[in-house]
Amino acid sequence: MTTKNLHPSVLKFKEFVKANPLITQEVRKGNATWQELYEDWYLLGEEDSRWEAFRNVQKNEDVNVEVTSEETKSDWMGQMMGIVKNMDPNQVQSHLSNLSQAIGAVQGLLSQFQGSKQVNEVKKPDSPPNPFSFRKD
């Protein structure tokens, strides 16, 4: 897993999120990003008033964090729509152009190799198929 390569502060943040599962719901709803939450946690600490809303709800109510399949699908669609909204059309066009050029280069290489095979195949039929030709009388 990648947990071996993570910074210790990131591992502590993951433990904090596991202890406060409502933080995950905030990200899924699109109210915050993981980067924002991590920066707040890192700068402010776990005891800051920013996290009280998540703690109070958890202490006062038994929060069941089970996610149904419909919620998962709607979260996925929401995430996809968020990604599409945040895309820069010029950057996407640039990536597509680079991809098109790379595909063209690969096609050029393949056509060169296929062209050399066709030339070799054309020369082969000119020579006799068998160097020892036997004829019946």
Let me know if residue 134 belongs to a domain: no
Compute φ and ψ for 121, nearest 5 degrees: -70, -30
Count of the separate structural domains present in the chain: 2
| Cβ contact 37:27 at 8 Å | yes
Please indicate, yes or no, whether residues 31 and 43 belong to a single structural domain of this protein: yes
Q: For residue 61, name the pLDDT band (cuts at 50, 70, 90).
A: very low
Whether residue 103 sits in one domain with residue 39: no
Is 25 in the same domain as 56?
Answer: yes
Rounded to two decimals, what is the model's pTM? 0.39
What distance in Å separates the CA atoms of residue 137 and residue 135, rounded to the nearest whole number? 6
pLDDT tens per residue, range 19-45: 888 888 888 888 888 888 888 888 888
> Among all chains, which residue has been given the structure tokens 């919620």?
71
pLDDT at 106 over 80: yes
Same domain for 27 and 12: yes
Which position has the higher pLDDT, 100 or 124? 100
Same domain membership, residue 30 and residue 96: no
CA 34 to CA 44: how far, in whole Å?
15
Task: Note whether 63 and 117 are same-domain residues.
Answer: no
Q: Is residue 135 part of a domain?
A: no
28 shares a domain with 70: yes
Asked whether residue 129 carries a pLDDT value surpassing 70, the answer given is: no
Condensed to tens digits (0 to 9), the pLDDT of residues 62-72 reads: 444 455 555 66
Range of the domain at 120: 88-127
